[in-house]
Chain A
Amino acid sequence: MQLPPALHARLAGAPGSAEPLPVERDPAAGTTPFSFAPRLVRFPREHDFFEDGDVQRHLYLQDVLTQVGGAPERPRRPSARVPEFTCQVAGCCQVFDALEDYEHHYHALHRNVCSFCKRAFPSGHLLDTHILEWHDSLFQILAERQDMYQCLVEGCTEKFRTSRDRKEHLVMRHLYPADFRFDKPRRSRGPAVPGAAEQVLAEALGDDRAPSEGDAMEVCSEHVEPSPEPAGERRAYSHRIPSTICFGQGASRGFKSAKKRNKHQ
């Protein structure tokens, strides 16, 4: 199919068009036995007309064994390891020999970290909610009078009086698991002052029920009876972690840990 040579130039040219020719219809046009009339045509989803294109689309989806490394912005050479380096965040001693591994580590553990209690969260949203519910004394006061516990699902604007109510909402309405890891109430370990900036270093470092693996990401701070957690939850994380091992939770070490801690009974 030969296209007029000027066409390509026209495409590259300025927008616009020639003045349309005058339209002048004869009433006899398209009358019986003829029937032509210009019509806009639309095709719905499942129409056979789309079969060829749909099949091509799916061949594309199926064909490509996607290479994670092929994207232009991230040339990957995992076989080229770099000399070992340590995470630069204060207190984290995780060691890496590949940059890509470091990216996820950093974002998972150092990006959304609570500056009060050093817990890491998977997103800014959960971090904000945690700070509000756990470290904001005004929140506690307001919570006595109105619904303050916000649903954790992005886009849901419901608020609740208690975190238990919120959990129920998460389970019933949003089909979340009852043991959703980012909505565990903090276990009270004795008299604790609500809203006080807790030093949880003791927990992080040496405590038998170390949150360093299981509870790293609670959001709410309501003091409730330790809810009977299914044994499976705890079993995985009940072993004592030697204090020399740092899982990079962002917990401060060194001089900071010399500060006084609130030891929980």
Chain B
Amino acid sequence: MWSRQRGGLKPLRCGVEQLRCRRREREAALRKARREQQLVSKRLLRDEALEEAEEGCVAMIFGEAEIQQFLRLAQRGTEEKEREGALVSLRRGLQCPETQQTFIRLEGSIRTLVGLLTSNQALLQLEAARCLHELSHSEQSAVVEACLPATSYLLTYLSGHSSDFIELCLYTLGNLIVESEAVRRQLLPQGIVPALAACIQSPHLTVLEALGYALSQLLQAKEAPEKIIPSVLGSTLPQHMLQLLQPGPKLNLGVAVEFAWCLHYIICSQVNNALLITQGALSTLGLLLLDLAGAVQRTEDAGLELLACPVLRCLSNLLTEAAAEAVGGQLQLRDERVVAALFILLQFLLQKQPSLLPEGLWLLNNLTANSPSFCTSLLSLDLIEPLLHLLSVSNVVLTVLCNVAEKGPAYCQRLWPGPLLSSLLDTLAFSDTEVVGQSLELLQLLFLYQPGAAQAFLQQSGLQALQRHEEVAQLQDRVHALQQTALHG
């Protein structure tokens, strides 16, 4: 049973149009960042309920003197409440970039903060951790890197038991991780991978989601394939990750999303996918796909596409591994429900997130390429017509049809008659050489294996459709060959 996605966004005061505009801007910025291989995002954990309780959550700009006073009070105040209050004020100030700058430049400030983080006053620890968290979220490297002296403690606390505190440490670490390779060069020898491996056994969902986030940041690093993924694969993390992705009543969407992305980063780095396969990754992901398809039918929940994307990618990439062949015999990966699930997801994506359709079709290609079983499923489940519906989305539809057709007459017979011919005539009208080329390949297979196909093609003015491309360099040889076959058999 899928639990609902967490809380939701804080209601913003601006209008819907402004929201859309902001989102478009952000999206453009992210695309640019990705192209420059600088795709970095941090997460900010703010307890909104807590902020509501503290009336007025306006971040204040504090000067040196004020910061010093807060720190002094926090360290040496006689009243607990006073000490806590001082740190709370400091924390609110640190929501502000100017205060952050002032803070890190103040001598001894970080040292004091770390001292409070490791004090034996639990609530001071918590507030100190919140201060660090604010700093970790900064866009200024200098501010973020000022947190480095705290990392050994943040890692030590991951073995504790206080779920709030651990969650906070994890999000802070996650933010630090993406900051720079220099930060990671400190965190790795400090034992971040074993610390995460120990922490992943926590029963708390919030901790797990935070851990998944931190780990995904680590795995996304540029140097991850050489420097990080091998040690992750050598730890117990993969087994636990797969366990957390098992469908069932305990599956939590937020947690699953994070770990699915972790798996994706590992798998697409192609370090040792065979190991993951022996640990049952294909099986787990296959079952998860089925579960996802069930979920999209049942619920209007936002966010299922966030999980669908990495699952599709992981499956597609894993199927290319030689080890997958060996396992394929066993199980889910012959199960025609996988194909059914994929189409249900494709329909869902068509409505929710059409930009992800090519990824779904990629999986369909990898499923059908070398599998008579899945090609048969496609036919027996009557999915050719829905598939044709997606022709305008991607050429991969044609590739998949070729995957089916090339298996011989028994397959082509089931592709014929039906809407296939008219769809092909449509695609022949495209000017895109890629598309037309694929259509020609499919036609050759149909002419070869399906008696009557050529005839029908001629009757539907196929020759005219072909003529259009007679002069195109990449196409002409194939066009002529088809013309010959059509006319002379």
Which residues from chain A sit less than 8 Å from chain B, CB to CB? 1-4, 6-8, 10-13, 15-26, 28-30, 32-46, 49-74, 76-79, 100-101, 103-109, 111-112, 120, 122-126, 153-156, 173-177, 180-182, 212-213, 216-217, 232-233, 236, 239, 245, 247-249
Among A52, A100, A109, residue most surrounded by chain B Cβ atoms (within 10 Å): A52
- Which residues of the other chain, B, contact A74 by a CB distance below 8 angstroms? 163, 206
**Known contacts A10-B340, A17-B376, A213-B120; A108/B165 CB under 8 A:** yes
B268 to chain A, nearest CB (A): 5
Report if B63 contacts A (CB, 8 A): no
* B window 1-48: CB within 8 A of A: 3-4, 6-10, 23, 26-27, 30-31, 34-35, 37, 39, 41-48
B125 to A104, Cβ gap below 8 A?
A: yes
Among B123, B332, B445, the residue within 8 A (CB) of A104 is B123
A79 to B52, Cβ gap below 8 A?
A: yes
- Which residues of the other chain, A, contact B118 by a CB distance below 8 angstroms? 181, 217
**Known contacts A11-B340, A154-B194; A26/B449 CB under 8 A:** yes
**Known contacts A29-B406, A175-B189, A239-B76; A101/B205 CB under 8 A:** no
**Alpha-carbon gap, A60 to B306, bound state (A):** 8
**Alpha-carbon gap, A239 to B76, bound state (A):** 8
**Alpha-carbon gap, A257 to B48, bound state (A):** 44
23 A-B Cβ contacts within 8 A? A13-B337, A18-B336, A34-B444, A37-B406, A38-B403, A40-B370, A43-B268, A43-B317, A49-B358, A49-B359, A51-B35, A57-B306, A61-B42, A66-B43, A67-B10, A69-B7, A72-B252, A76-B47, A104-B162, A104-B165, A108-B120, A108-B165, A175-B190
**Alpha-carbon gap, A20 to B138, bound state (A):** 57
A24 to B410, Cβ gap below 8 A?
A: yes
A104 to B126, Cβ gap below 8 A?
A: yes
Among A25, A67, A212, A232, the residue within 8 A (CB) of B7 is A67
Report if B468 contacts A (CB, 8 A): no
- Which residues of the other chain, A, contact B365 by a CB distance below 8 angstroms? 40-41
B340 to A7, Cβ gap below 8 A?
A: yes
* B window 393-443: CB within 8 A of A: 402-403, 406-411, 414, 438, 440-442
- Which residues of the other chain, A, contact B335 by a CB distance below 8 angstroms? 15-17
Among B27, B53, B334, the residue within 8 A (CB) of A79 is B53
Ranked nearest first, the 8 interchain pairs of A and B with the lowest CB-CB distance are A155-B194, A70-B7, A123-B159, A33-B477, A17-B336, A107-B162, A24-B408, A105-B122
Report if B215 contacts A (CB, 8 A): no
B49 to A77, Cβ gap below 8 A?
A: yes
Among A12, A16, A26, A68, the residue within 8 A (CB) of B448 is A26
* B window 362-383: CB within 8 A of A: 362, 365-366, 368-370, 372-373, 375-377, 379-383
Among B118, B362, B365, residue most surrounded by chain A Cβ atoms (within 10 Å): B118
**Alpha-carbon gap, A109 to B189, bound state (A):** 28
Report if B279 contacts A (CB, 8 A): no
B386 to A108, Cβ gap below 8 A?
A: no
**Known contacts A1-B390, A55-B34, A107-B165; A17/B334 CB under 8 A:** yes
B119 to A174, Cβ gap below 8 A?
A: no
A176 to B152, Cβ gap below 8 A?
A: yes
Report if B275 contacts A (CB, 8 A): no
Among A49, A108, A182, the residue within 8 A (CB) of B162 is A108
B365's nearest neighbour on chain A, judged by CB, is A41
B408 to A36, Cβ gap below 8 A?
A: no
- Which residues of the other chain, A, contact B464 by a CB distance below 8 angstroms? none
A62 to chain B, nearest CB (A): 5
- Which residues of the other chain, B, contact A112 by a CB distance below 8 angstroms? 160
- Which residues of the other chain, B, contact A51 by a CB distance below 8 angstroms? 31, 34-35
A107 to B160, Cβ gap below 8 A?
A: yes
B156 to A123, Cβ gap below 8 A?
A: yes
Among A4, A65, A105, A249, residue most surrounded by chain B Cβ atoms (within 10 Å): A65
- Which residues of the other chain, A, contact B160 by a CB distance below 8 angstroms? 107-108, 111-112, 122-123
A12 to B294, Cβ gap below 8 A?
A: yes
Among A11, A52, A120, the residue within 8 A (CB) of B355 is A52
Report if B161 contacts A (CB, 8 A): yes
**Alpha-carbon gap, A38 to B165, bound state (A):** 52
A36 to B190, Cβ gap below 8 A?
A: no
**Alpha-carbon gap, A84 to B29, bound state (A):** 49
A191 to chain B, nearest CB (A): 28
B156 to A122, Cβ gap below 8 A?
A: yes
**Alpha-carbon gap, A20 to B414, bound state (A):** 13
**Alpha-carbon gap, A217 to B359, bound state (A):** 52
Per-position 1/0 for B443-471, Cβ under 8 A of A: 01100110000000000000000000000
Per-position 1/0 for B116-140, Cβ under 8 A of A: 0011111101100000000000000
A143 to chain B, nearest CB (A): 23
* Interface pick from B87-95, B96-104, B343-351: B343-351
**Alpha-carbon gap, A36 to B403, bound state (A):** 9
B122 to A109, Cβ gap below 8 A?
A: yes
A25's nearest neighbour on chain B, judged by CB, is B408
A156 to B191, Cβ gap below 8 A?
A: yes
A124 to B159, Cβ gap below 8 A?
A: yes
- Which residues of the other chain, B, contact A125 by a CB distance below 8 angstroms? 159
**Alpha-carbon gap, A154 to B69, bound state (A):** 38
- Which residues of the other chain, A, contact B449 by a CB distance below 8 angstroms? 26, 29
Per-position 1/0 for B254-266, Cβ under 8 A of A: 0001000100010
